A and B are shown apart, each in its own frame.
Chain A
Amino acid sequence: MKGKNVWVASFAAVVMIAIVLLLAGSSSVTANDQSSAATSEVKIDNFSFGPQTLTVPVGATVTWTNRDDIPHTSVSTDGVFKSKVMDTNETFSYTFAKAGTYPYYCSIHPKMTGQVVVK
């Protein structure tokens, strides 16, 4: 019963701590480790998440990629997931194990909002 959270970042220590915190905070959402689960992408361009609404099947892993020259985050409005700061070309992934609608925003630029719909 563990969330599979893959960070692609260069700061190993920070990453380890972040994963522990993330797991601790997301016990209500479980994920499976099936490698066959769908993978979906959210691109961050020009201070916006694209697509703004992403619909994925249960078990899908969503990866956010920051393509701006400015750092961004992807933070669940309901506290389900929280990325560390993504600098240019850094990514954050989260696996959604339960159906539902997951609104999120950039905690640095809160006008940036999006949602993942898990069916």
Chain B
Amino acid sequence: MPDKKQDLIDQKLQDLNNDGVDRRGFLKCMAWAGTGLVWTMSGGIPVSRAFAKTADRSAGKGGDFSFVQISDSHIGFNKPANPDVTATLQTAINKINAMSHKPDFIIHTGDLSQLSKPGEFDTLDQVLKGASARQIYFVPGEHDMLSDNGEQYLQRYGKGTKGTGWYSFDQKGVHFVGLVNVANLKAGGMGSLGHEQLEWLEDDLKGRSASTPIVLFAHIPLWTIYPEWGWGTDDSEQALSYVKRFGSVTVLNGHIHQIMQKIEGKVSFHTAMSTAFPQPAPGTAPSAGPMKVPADQLQQVLGITDVNYVVSGRSLAIVDSPLGA
């Protein structure tokens, strides 16, 4: 039953999505609460939750689960924007371990390292070992495939994956797909999935029920945020055409070191904060390079993303929390 507040939220969403798409099945919920942004998607049913309520929800009911997305650890980075990225990753892991509801797994959306060096990956592994969630799913960022076409990444984090590291898995009825859009990039272009991966994706989704909630995750955003800085994926439209028939699609990305989101039809796009350093909002700086903020503010612009799945209504709720919260 829509109330005035909900109408306002709807209006905001329509402003955000002035693209003439059918809004019948729209994801309608978006609410700012404290430092966390909460949005809940549900097949056509608007559900609004305050941060505290969402964070409070226990995954006690059968089939419900939660996971945490972390991104852009850039282990090895040591410039003024954050001289100790290992420490801030550790803070992120501590925050995850302290959560009242224990996440079932962690997704890392790439740029694990700064320069693809073995020592950087070793340090990352050491910190991640301390996570209470044992299972961690990865996709590579461009920084993880710098000098060896991603061979080392594949050996360490991509065993059993296809191509340059793409794969899918199922968790309690939700279908997760990890995609690689940082390999074989073309001059003048943005992120790229490539023909082989797109074919695999089409095949992977074929035959799945339209009521299966889908989560796509990849490093570079699968929607065009700012082409001037390469913040998008050249062939993402084709990938998204394969998920159009599904009732609930969530797209999780990193790369831009800040929270951005868009809702288009039944597809919700979301980018996560980095655990290493912030980057400027699109077009607000000469380039997308690391942004230096006063040291006491750094933990407000780094963070983690908590995703809760609730079986009733097949909804996913996403909460971003800065490390310093």
| Most interface-central of B81, B143, B185 (chain A CB within 10 A) | B185
Chain B's interface: helix, strand, loop or mixed, by majority? loop
CB distance from A69 to the nearest CB of B (A): 4
Contact between chains at B287 and A47 (CB < 8 Å): yes
A78 CB to nearest B CB, Å: 10
Residues of A within 8 A of B187 (CB): 77, 103-105, 110, 113
Q: Which B residues between 129 and 147 are near A, CB-CB below 8 angstroms?
A: 142-143, 146-147
Residues in A whose Cβ lies below 8 Å from that of B190: 110-111
Indicate if the CB atoms of A87 and B289 lie closer than 8 Å. no
- Is A33 close to B, CB under 8 A? no
Q: Is A108 an interface residue (CB 8 A)?
A: yes
A-B contact count (CB 8 A): 57
Q: Beta-carbon contacts of A67-89 to B below 8 Å, as 1s and 0s?
A: 01111000001000000110110
Near A by CB (< 8 A), chain B positions 283-313 give 286-290
Asked if A109 is at the interface of the complex by the 8 Å CB criterion, the answer is: yes
- B114 beta carbon closer than 8 Å to chain A: yes
Contact of A111 among B81, B114, B230, B290 (CB under 8 A): B230
Using known A-B contacts A47-B289, A68-B289, determine if residue A111 contacts B79 with beta carbons closer than 8 Å: no
Q: Is B228 an interface residue (CB 8 A)?
A: yes
Which of the residues A48, A70, A111 comes within 8 Å of B188, measured between beta carbons? A111
From known contacts A71-B114, A88-B79, A108-B142, infer whether A46 and B287 are also in contact, taking CB-CB under 8 Å: yes
CA gap between A46 and B283 in the complex, in Å? 12
Q: Of all chain B residues, which has the CB nearest A68?
A: B289
A52 is an interface residue with CB less than 8 A from chain B:
no
Is B189's CB within 8 Å of the partner chain A? yes
CB within 8 Å of B: which of A82-118? 84-85, 87-88, 103-105, 107-111, 113
Nearest CB of chain B from residue A74's CB, rounded to whole Å: 11
Measured CA separation A46–B291 after assembly (Å): 12
Complex A-B: 23 CB contacts under 8 Å: A46-B289, A47-B287, A69-B80, A69-B81, A69-B289, A70-B289, A70-B290, A71-B114, A71-B143, A71-B146, A77-B187, A84-B147, A85-B116, A85-B146, A85-B147, A87-B115, A105-B187, A108-B142, A108-B185, A110-B189, A110-B230, A111-B190, A111-B228
| Residue in B closest to A73 when the chains form the complex, CB atoms | B146
A103–B187 Cα distance when bound, in Å, is: 9
List 18 additional contacts besides A69-B290, A88-B79, A111-B228; criterion CB under 8 Å.
Answer: A69-B79, A71-B115, A84-B147, A85-B116, A85-B146, A85-B147, A103-B187, A104-B187, A105-B187, A107-B185, A108-B142, A108-B185, A110-B188, A110-B190, A111-B189, A111-B230, A113-B187, A113-B188
Chain A 48-72 interface 0/1 with B at a Cβ cutoff of 8 Å (1 = within): 1000000000000000000011110
- Contact indicator A46/B229 (Cβ below 8 Å): no
Closest to B288 in A: A47
A108 and B147 in contact (CB under 8 A), knowing A68-B287, A71-B115? no
B-binding residues in A (CB < 8 A): 14, 46-48, 68-71, 77, 84-85, 87-88, 103-105, 107-111, 113
Check if B5 is an interface residue, CB within 8 A of chain A: no
* CB within 8 Å for A46 and B286 given contacts A69-B81, A85-B147, A111-B189: yes
In whole Å, how far is A33's beta carbon from the nearest beta carbon of chain B? 27
Which residue of chain B has its CB nearest to the CB of A108?
B142
In the complex, chain A residues whose CB is within 8 Å of the CB of B142:
108-109
Contacts of B115 in A (CB 8 A): 71, 85, 87
Tell me the minimal C-beta distance from B232 to chain A in angstroms. 10
* Interface set, chain B 91-149, CB cutoff 8 A to A: 114-116, 142-143, 146-147
Most B CB within 10 A of own CB, among A46, A69, A85: A69
The answer to whether B147 and A14 touch across the interface, beta carbons within 8 angstroms, is: yes
Q: Which of A47, A84, A88, A107 contacts B229 (CB 8 A)?
A: A47
Q: Separation in Å of the A70 CB from the closest CB of chain B?
A: 6
